[in-house]
Amino acid sequence: MQHAWEISNNCHDPGCPPMHGDRARRNLKSPRVSVVIPTLNEARNLSVVLPRLPDGLFEVVVVDGGSTDDTVEVARRLRPDMRLVEQTGRGKGNALYIGLVAARGDILVTLDADGSADPAEIPRFVAALVAGADVAKGSRFAQGGGSADITRPRKIGNRVLCTLVNSIYGTCYTDLCYGYNAFWADCLPALCTPRPLYAADPAAESPLGEGFEVETVLNVRAAKGALRVWEVPSYELRRIHGQSNLHAIRDGLRVVRTIWGESPVFSARYSPEAAAPADAVAGALPCSPAAPAAPSVGTAVGTAVEVRDEVVQLTRAEDAATDLGPGLLEPGAADVPSAVIGRASNGHGPKA
């Protein structure tokens, strides 16, 4: 799977991941804005959403997940300049990742195709980024925001999950699962970086997840990457046509799993899949001396015999010294050598 930093966009060289927060290189005067819209059978909704896009956009990237209706034809008719990207995987997270990687603007905006997010609010997000934010996340519960579509169970669940993330990462988010977000393109590597040590195979899953947990992934990684996150009040409209694919319980559990998987406690756990190969550090460290080989039985017996012979010789020497008699130890003995009685207790020179 191709990663975000492997594609040459936004004046960055391929293969060299730009550091997030590269604010000195940002085009603050006239930023190029790319809008990424994931779609799946949204022909009727796109006929309302695309005409409401503001003027002056650099590009509109439509990611199609294999629609069976006229989604592509409607998009081409309403926006002849739009860029169509075919989704390679499945799920909203994968679609957004594909679109964000393909975008070439300085600012990337994620917009739902069902009409719940008002495209007219895009200038509000861009203004927050130009004013100094790295990430501008929409919030339905900040002052000035609201929702005409959220149900009471979803509202309670969002509040609980938001409190959980705030307690873990020290953030002050008021909304966690809203899909209206914008950020500078140089922040994309930080937002698309999987868990640091407990890292699943990048080829097996999308770096942003596969389902509706993608918003949680973006918000959590923005906190982990120390990005400047500003909440922008937004009003969520009702879905125009069709049924939403969101399931409160199923997707809520996916969000909980994402929060736990991205948490420092879990991400710092050792994983054999993330461990370096055995020969990865060959030659990097000094070689330790080889451990001595274990002695054989014959060698051990021979060593024991040698020790026994030494003990016997020492015993015989002590017996010979005892045979000198008590005269050697009598005080004032004239035949006692001065080298024997004139040595200090510590062995350094004669006694005073």
Question: Residue 25 to residues 8, 186, 223, 227: CA-CA distances in angstroms?
Answer: 15, 9, 22, 16
Give helix then strand counts, H and E, for the chain. Answer: 11, 9
pLDDT over 80 at 269, yes or no: no
| Average confidence (pLDDT) over 318-334 | 52
Q: What is the pLDDT of residues 127-178, one digit of tens each?
A: 999 999 999 999 999 999 999 988 888 888 889 989 989 998 889 999 998 9
Instruction: State mean pLDDT over 272-288.
Output: 55
Query: Which H or E run contains 298?
Result: helix 297-322
Better-scored residue on pLDDT, 104 or 10: 104
Q: Are 102 and 28 in contact (CB under 8 A)?
A: no
How many angstroms separate the CA atoms of 258 and 63, rounded? 24
DSSP 3-state assignment of 339? helix
* Domain locations along the chain: 4-274, 297-341
**Between 79 and 5, residue with greater pLDDT:** 79
Q: What is the model's pLDDT at position 93? A: 87
What is the residue-wise DSSP string for 20-60? Answer: TT-GGG---SS--EEEEEEESS-HHHHHHHGGGSPTT-SEE
CA distance 75 to 62: 8
Contact yes or no for 133/228 (Cβ under 8 A): yes
Cα 184 to Cα 199: distance, rounded to the nearest angstrom: 25
Q: What is the pLDDT of residue 263?
A: 74
Can you list the positions of beta strands (E) in 193-331? Answer: 229-233, 235-236
pLDDT at 90: 84
Q: 107-110 and 181-184: which strand pairing?
A: antiparallel
Question: CA-CA distance, 217 to 110, in Å (whole number)?
Answer: 14
Q: pLDDT > 70: what percent of the chain?
A: 63
Distance CA 92, CA 290 (A): 55
pLDDT of residue 168: 87
Name the pLDDT band for 112 (thresholds 50, 70, 90): very high
Asked whether the predicted pLDDT for residue 65 surpasses 80, the reply is yes
Residues 6+ apart with CB under 8 A from 76: 82, 84
User: Is the model's pLDDT at 346 over the cut of 70?
Assistant: no
Region of poorest pLDDT, from 67-81, 258-272, 285-299: 285-299
266, pLDDT greater than 50: yes
Give me the pLDDT at residue 150, please. Answer: 85
d(CA 210, CA 88): 12
What pLDDT was estimated at residue 234?
96
The arithmetic mean of pLDDT across residues 98-115, rounded, is: 95
Query: What's the CATH class of domain 4-274?
Result: alpha beta
Rounded to the nearest 10 degrees, how much is the dihedral formed by the CA atoms of 68, 236, 186, 10?
A: 50
Report if pTM > 0.75. Answer: no
Select the more confidently predicted residue: 210 or 7: 210
Give the rounded percent of residues in the chain with a pLDDT score beyond 90. 42
Q: Is the pLDDT of residue 275 over 60?
A: no
Helix, strand or coil for residue 140?
coil
pLDDT score at 128 = 96
Tokens of residue 264, six digits: 């420092």
Query: Considering only 128-132, 255-259, 320-324, which range has the smallest mean pLDDT?
Result: 320-324
- How high is the pLDDT of residue 177? 87
Beta strands in the chain (DSSP E): 33-39, 59-64, 83-86, 107-110, 135-139, 146-147, 181-184, 229-233, 235-236
Structure tokens at 10: 């936004």
Residue 135, both tokens? 């990430």
Q: Which residue has the higher pLDDT, 49 or 325?
A: 49
Mean pLDDT computed over every residue of the chain: 77
Residue 75 DSSP SS3: helix
Q: Is the pLDDT of residue 5 over 50?
A: no
For residue 310, the model assigns a pLDDT of 73
CB count within 10 Å of CB 114 equals 25
Q: What residues does 33 pair with on adjacent strands?
A: 107
Place 338 in a pLDDT band, splitting at 50, 70 and 90. very low
- Range with the poorest average pLDDT among 10-14, 118-122, 251-255, 293-297: 10-14
Rounded-to-integer distance, Cα 322 and Cα 315, Å: 11
pLDDT at 71: 94
Residue 147's beta-bridge partner residues?
236
CA Rg value for the chain: 37
Residue 13 φ/ψ, nearest 5 degrees: -75, 140
